[in-house]
Amino acid sequence: MSAPVIWIVLPFLAGTVILFIPNTRVASIVGGVVTALLALAALAIPIDTALLLGSVSFKISSTVQILGRSLLLSAADGPILAMIYGLATLWFFGTEAAGSSGRFVSLGLAIISLLVASIAVEPFLFAAPMLEMAALLVVPLLVSPQQKPGRGILRFIIYQTLAMPFILFSGWMLAGVEASPGDIGLTSQSGVMLGLGFAFLLAIFPLYNWIPMLAEEASPYVVGFLLWALPVFTVIFALGFLDHYAWIRTSPGLSNAIQFAGLFMVASGGIFAAFQRHLGRMMGYASIVETGLMILAMVVKSPLSVEITFMLLIPRGLELTVWALGISVIQKSAQPLRFSSIQGLARTYPIAVGALVLAHLSTIGFPLLAGFPARLVLWEELASQSLIYAFWILVGLFGLLTGAVRTLAVFVMAPEKTPWAWNESWAQSVMLGVGVIVLFAIGLFPQTMQPFLSSLPALFEHIGQ
C-alpha cells in the first residue's frame, strides 16, 4: 500500500460511492467519518517507515506511478494531510446542518482528492491541470442543471481555465531559465507568465471580481468551501515554485510586485467590505483580505515565512466553515441575504448570529480568536521592514472591522418587544458551537498548531533563507 493510494485514491473512490447514497444525513456522516479517519491516519501512521504489527511487518511507501507521472507523499506531508482532512471533516459533518445536498460530500471528497494530488504530483508543474479539474468539479455544486449560471460562476471558470496555460507555458520557459540564468529577457518573460497564471488562480486584483458575485449567486456553504479549498492548495503550489526556483526568491522586482499585490488585496478588500450590505459578499471580501495576507506571508523576508503562511491557512478553514454555516442557517429566514432582510435576527437565531460575528472578528485578527496569532506575527515582521506595509494592513483590517460592526448592528436592530427564540436545530447548534470553541482554543493556545508546523522546513527548505 502506498500513501497516494490511501490519501488520494481511496477518498476519491469513497466520494464515488457516497454519490449513490440518497440520504443527506447518511452521506454527511459517512463523508465526515472517512475524512476524520484519513486525518487520524496521517498523524498516526508514518510514511516510508517499517511498522511492526504483531508478527507482521509492513511499510507504506511514499510513491506510486500513475499514467507515467509520480505521486509522492513523504513523511513530512503527514501534518499537512491531517490539517486538510481534519478541516474537511468539519465541512462534511456540517452538510446537513447547512441544508446542502448529499452530492456536496461526494464531489467535495473528489475535489479534495484532486487537490491533494496537485501537491503530490511530480513534476510539480502538473499540479495546474489538477487544480483545473478540481475547479470544474465545483461547478455542479454551484449551479443545478436547470439553473442558468450567473456571471460570477462564468468568470470563475474562465479565470481558472486561463491560469492553466500560463502556468504550464511558464514552466516550459523556466526550464530555459535554469539552462541560461543570464538571459534577462527570458527570465522576465517567464516571470510575467508565471505572475499572470497565479493572478488568475489566486484572484488577485482586479481578477477577484467573481468572488463577491459568486457569493451573492450561489449557496454560501458551497462558496465558503470553494474559498477555503482552492486558495489553500494554490498557496501550497506557489510555495513549491518559490522553493524550487532560486531566482524567484531572490529577484527584488518580482518580490516587490508580489508584496504590492498582497497589500492591494488586503487594503481594497477591507475597504470594499466596509460598504457591503450583503452577508455573502461580506464573506467574499473577507476571504480576499485573507488571501492577500497569505501572499504577503509567502514573500516576507523572514525565516518564519512558511510557518506564518500555514498559521494563516489553518484558521482560514475554521473561520469560513463557521461563517458559511451561520449564513446558511440564517438564509432560511432571510432571502436575499441583504441587511434589509436580516434586521433583528439576533433574537431569533442567536447561535448562528453569534458564531457568524465571531468568525468575522477572527478574520480581522481579534484577540483571543484563531486569526489573532498569525496576524500579529505577520504584522510584526512586515513592520520591521516597512511601516507603510503595516499601515495598509491596518487599513484593510479596519475596513473588515467596520463591516463586522455594521453587520452586528443590523442583527440586533429588533423591535423592543421581540421575544428571544431558538430556531437553530440541534445539529446546527452543535456544529456552530464546536466551531466557535475551536476558534477560541486556537486563539488562546496557538501552540496547538505547532505539530502541523514542525515538518514544514523539510518541505520548503529554501524559503526564508
| CB count in 10 Å sphere of residue 396 | 27
Q: What is the mean pLDDT of residues 271-290?
A: 92
Of the two residues 459 and 197, the one the predictor is more confident about is: 197
State residue 310's pLDDT score.
Answer: 86
Phi-psi region of 72 (alpha: psi -120 to 50; beta: other; left: phi over 0): beta
Q: What is the pLDDT of residues 29-39, one digit of tens each?
A: 999 999 999 99
Residue 457, pLDDT > 70, answer no
Share of the chain above pLDDT 70, in %: 92
Q: What is the pLDDT of residues 38-53, one digit of tens each?
A: 999 888 887 777 666 6
Q: Which among 315, 264, 310, 314 has a CA at the least distance from the CA of 289? A: 264
Residues 390/255/158/397 CA torsion (nearest 10 deg): -10
Contact 207, 200 (CB under 8 A): yes
Residue 28, pLDDT > 70, answer yes
Contact 137, 90 (CB under 8 A): no
Q: What are phi and psi of 348, to 5 degrees?
A: -105, -25
Q: What is the mean pLDDT of residues 231-260?
A: 80
The pTM for the full model equals: 0.91
Phi-psi region of 48 (alpha: psi -120 to 50; beta: other; left: phi over 0): left
DSSP class of residue 336?
S
> How big is the CA angle at 87 (ends 86 and 89), to the nearest 5 degrees?
65
Q: What is the pLDDT of residues 345-401, one digit of tens each?
A: 888 889 999 999 999 999 998 999 998 998 998 888 888 888 888 899 999 999 999
Contact 370, 442 (CB under 8 A): yes
Q: What is the pLDDT of residues 96-145, one digit of tens each?
A: 888 777 788 999 999 999 999 888 887 777 788 888 888 888 888 888 76
State residue 359's pLDDT score.
Answer: 93
Q: What is the pLDDT of residues 51-87, one digit of tens each?
A: 666 666 667 777 777 777 778 887 777 888 888 999 9
Q: What is the mean pLDDT of the chain?
A: 84
Are β-strands 56-58 and 63-66 bridged in parallel, bridged antiparallel, or unpaired?
Answer: unpaired
Q: Spell out the alpha helix ranges (H) of 365-425.
A: 372-385, 387-411
Q: What are phi and psi of 182, to 5 degrees?
A: -85, -5
- Concatenate the DSSP letters of all residues of 212-268 into one string: HHHHHHS-HHHHHHHHHHHHHHHHHHHHHHHHH-HHHHH-HHHHHHHHHHHHHHHHH
Phi-psi region of 54 (alpha: psi -120 to 50; beta: other; left: phi over 0): left
State residue 288's pLDDT score.
Answer: 93
State residue 75's pLDDT score.
Answer: 77
